[in-house]
Amino acid sequence: MADPPGCCRPCASCLFHLYSCQWITVKKEKRKGLRTTKCDCCWFLFLFFVFLFTLAWLYFTIIILNDFHNFNEFIFKQRKLWLDWSLVLLIATAVLTSYLAVLLVLALCLQLCGQPLKLHWLHKTLLISTALVVAAAFAGLGIKWAEEWRSARISLQATGPFLHIGIVGGMTLLAWPLASFIYHTRNTGLKVFLLLVYCTVMIALYLAPLGITSPCIMEKNQLPPKPALVGHRGAPMLAPENTLMSLHKAADCDVQVFETDVMVSADGVPFLMHDEELTRTTNVQAVFPERAALNSTAFNWTDLQQLDAGSWFLERKPFPTVQSLSAGDRYLVTEQRIPSLEQVLKAAKQSNISIMFDLRPENHSDYQSFVNATLEVILQSGIPLQQVLWLPDGFREQVKQQAPGIQHVYGRKRLQNEKEPLLHVNLPYQDMSSEEIRQYRQDNISVNLYVVNKPWLFSVLWCSGVTSVTTNACQVLKEMKQPIWLLPSSTYLMIWIVVDCASLLAILWAFFLLKKCSQRRQPAESETDVLLTKINSLMQE
């Protein structure tokens, strides 16, 4: 088999070595009669599909980074070990994807050079292992974190138009090795099958934008107002969560609402704390080691005031932004204590921001006394009641009677036969479609979605018309003046047509050029065969 033009023998030999892990020169290959078998072709197809499988997992990994802090918290509760697992997952996935991409490029280059595809057993083992690992990752995602599938669907509204362009480009490049294979093989049935499959896929890709929808495909004058920001436990990327420092940092980020969690101490003092235990966000294991595993509500207010609620933030670094804190901020972090609800209401009143909170734990036997204690502090604080957003469902009617000015936020969608119309809803961002958001806004229902950290997700929800979002990254979303991208439908149509036409022309050019190269080789090979036949006849005579 002659080397195609532009493919030197040393290059072909090097490619073959990397792919097959064998030091064999091109001449020796010919002497040994190595060629690509059906089994080799199957391994190539397996490589191609595992690469796509792993690439899909890489995409999922990038998407779920928005919610990965929740996973880190979950692991800490289970194992008492804090680590940024998102970094581990992203690096591992990127390494696997890069390895498969290199193998795939080697295989395609070998095909263009007319060399046999002899994948080494080590590569085969790693290939199978990668497929199993990625399959297990997808299975685990479906079992333990099923809502992320909905996150992936939402992400396609942000990335769909660009993924389409990338996939069309990748499939267009695939036309070169495909054309080379078709012009080299003599199996007519295989040629027809591959061409039919390739053409079907390309036609589907060319028409794919008919099914791509995105709220950000709109005219600029149709863009809804920017959603207000709700600080998730304050500004947890800039200060320890649920502290006064976190509230002040959130106010500096133009956050309109401070979202937090309230518990009530054993002696009836409402205070800020998210977890049922104090181990993650305080030094309770050092101060009260024998009581560290107790519920937060088992401690009285005097005990709680002895705990350091800030140093863990510098030690564990829950977010990469901790590295960039100034010396002054680092000192303030170490001075943080667990704040009471009374202190927080006073700070919120001074900063002129609202406060929205859950009252935990909902299943506590003294929950009604928790509600009473919390209401008493709110009414005595002097904060305007319209600045208080009440999330707990328990004893809501009692709250409406005792403090009628408080705004009630519901963690559910409206019902068909709603007795009292909802004015505010607070839901996970996965639970509402763009159409539902628009409908709620038309009905004057305020929609807050949580937790939104990444600009791509904020952009989709902005275009959808959401009222506000709860975020850990207020300092990032504050700087966004418009969505990441906004395309008029006419512009997107033009991009679609140009990309499809350019792809079609590139594919036709690939097949035309490689056919010419194939035709040039055929006469030379025929002349060589005739000469060898004559020499053989003379030797026999």
Answer yes or no: are the C-beta atoms of 374 and 358 closer than 8 Å. Answer: no
- What is the CATH superfamily name and number for domain 228-478? Phosphatidylinositol (PI) phosphodiesterase (3.20.20.190)
Which band of pLDDT confidence, cut at 50, 70 and 90, is reported for residue 20? Answer: confident
Helix (H) or strand (E) run with residue 425 in it: strand 424-428
- Please compute the mean of the pLDDT values over residues 512-528 and round it to a whole number: 67
pLDDT digits (tens, 9 = 90+) for 321-355: 999 999 999 999 999 999 999 999 999 999 999 99
Going by C-alpha positions, the residue among 163, 202, 112 that lies closest to residue 503 is 202
Which band of pLDDT confidence, cut at 50, 70 and 90, is reported for residue 5? Answer: very low
Q: For all residues of the chain together, what is the average pLDDT?
A: 90
- pTM (2 decimals)? 0.89
Answer yes or no: are the C-beta atoms of 89 and 145 closer than 8 Å. Answer: no
CA distance 194 to 177: 12
Predicted confidence (pLDDT) at residue 435 exceeds the cutoff of 70: yes
Question: What is the 3-class SS of 187-256, one letter each residue?
Answer: CHHHHHHHHHHHHHHHHHHHHHHHHCCCCCECCHHHCCCCCEEEEECCCCCCCCCCCHHHHHHHHHCCCC
Predicted confidence (pLDDT) at residue 108 exceeds the cutoff of 60: yes
**Residue 2 confidence (pLDDT):** 44
**Parallel/antiparallel/unpaired status of strands 424-428 and 446-450:** parallel
Answer yes or no: are the C-beta atoms of 304 and 272 closer than 8 Å. Answer: no
Considering the chain, what percentage of its residues have pLDDT values greater than 90?
Answer: 74
CA distance 476 to 84: 20
SS3 state at 399: helix
**Residue 534 confidence (pLDDT):** 53
Which band of pLDDT confidence, cut at 50, 70 and 90, is reported for residue 54? Answer: very high
- Please compute the mean of the pLDDT values over residues 387-408 and round it to a whole number: 95
Q: Residue 239: phi, psi to the nearest 5?
A: -160, 160
Helix (H) or strand (E) run with residue 368 in it: helix 367-381
Residue that wins the pLDDT comparison between 110 and 332: 332
Answer yes or no: are the C-beta atoms of 166 and 55 closer than 8 Å. Answer: no
Predicted confidence (pLDDT) at residue 155 exceeds the cutoff of 50: yes
Helices (H), 21-84: 26-32, 38-64, 68-79
Residues contacting 54, CB < 8 A, separation 6+: 93, 96, 97, 100, 130, 134
- Please compute the mean of the pLDDT values over residues 512-519 and round it to a whole number: 82
Which band of pLDDT confidence, cut at 50, 70 and 90, is reported for residue 30? Answer: very low
Q: How far is CA 469 from its chain centroid?
A: 18
CA distance 261 to 123: 51
How far lies 427's CA from each of 267, 333, 464, 472, 521, in Å?
Answer: 33, 31, 15, 16, 66
- Please compute the mean of the pLDDT values over residues 386-393 and round it to a whole number: 96
Going by C-alpha positions, the residue among 284, 294, 416, 392 that lies closest to residue 338 is 284
**Residue 183 confidence (pLDDT):** 84
Going by C-alpha positions, the residue among 32, 4, 33, 36 that lies closest to residue 19 is 36
Which band of pLDDT confidence, cut at 50, 70 and 90, is reported for residue 25? Answer: very low
Predicted confidence (pLDDT) at residue 424 exceeds the cutoff of 90: yes
**How is residue 75 written in tokens?**
């692991």
SS3 state at 422: coil
CA distance 70 to 363: 22
Q: Which residues pair with 259 in a beta bridge?
A: 232, 356
pLDDT digits (tens, 9 = 90+) for 481-511: 999 999 999 999 999 999 999 999 999 999 9
Residues contacting 285, CB < 8 A, separation 6+: 279, 292
**Parallel/antiparallel/unpaired status of strands 354-359 and 270-272:** unpaired
Answer yes or no: are the C-beta atoms of 357 and 391 closer than 8 Å. Answer: yes
Find the range with the poorest average confidence among 8-22, 25-39, 102-116, 138-152.
25-39
- Please compute the mean of the pLDDT values over residues 154-159 and round it to a whole number: 95
**Residue 189 confidence (pLDDT):** 86
Residues contacting 236, CB < 8 A, separation 6+: 246, 318, 319, 472
CA distance 69 to 322: 14
SS3 state at 161: helix
Q: How far is CA 67 from its chain centroid?
A: 8
**How is residue 421 written in tokens?**
């119309």
**Residue 37 confidence (pLDDT):** 82
Find the range with the poorest average confidence among 86-90, 128-132, 385-389, 512-516.
512-516
Answer yes or no: are the C-beta atoms of 62 and 48 closer than 8 Å. Answer: no
Q: What angle do CA 500, 505, 507 make, to 5 degrees?
A: 95
CA distance 253 to 231: 9
Domain boundaries, the chain: 11-22+36-145, 149-214+487-517, 228-478
Which band of pLDDT confidence, cut at 50, 70 and 90, is reported for residue 26? Answer: very low
- Please compute the mean of the pLDDT values over residues 250-279 and round it to a whole number: 97
- Classify residue 121 by its DSSP letter: H
Helix (H) or strand (E) run with residue 402 in it: helix 396-402
Answer yes or no: are the C-beta atoms of 165 and 499 closer than 8 Å. Answer: yes
Residue 144 has a CB neighbour count (10 Å cut-off) of 10
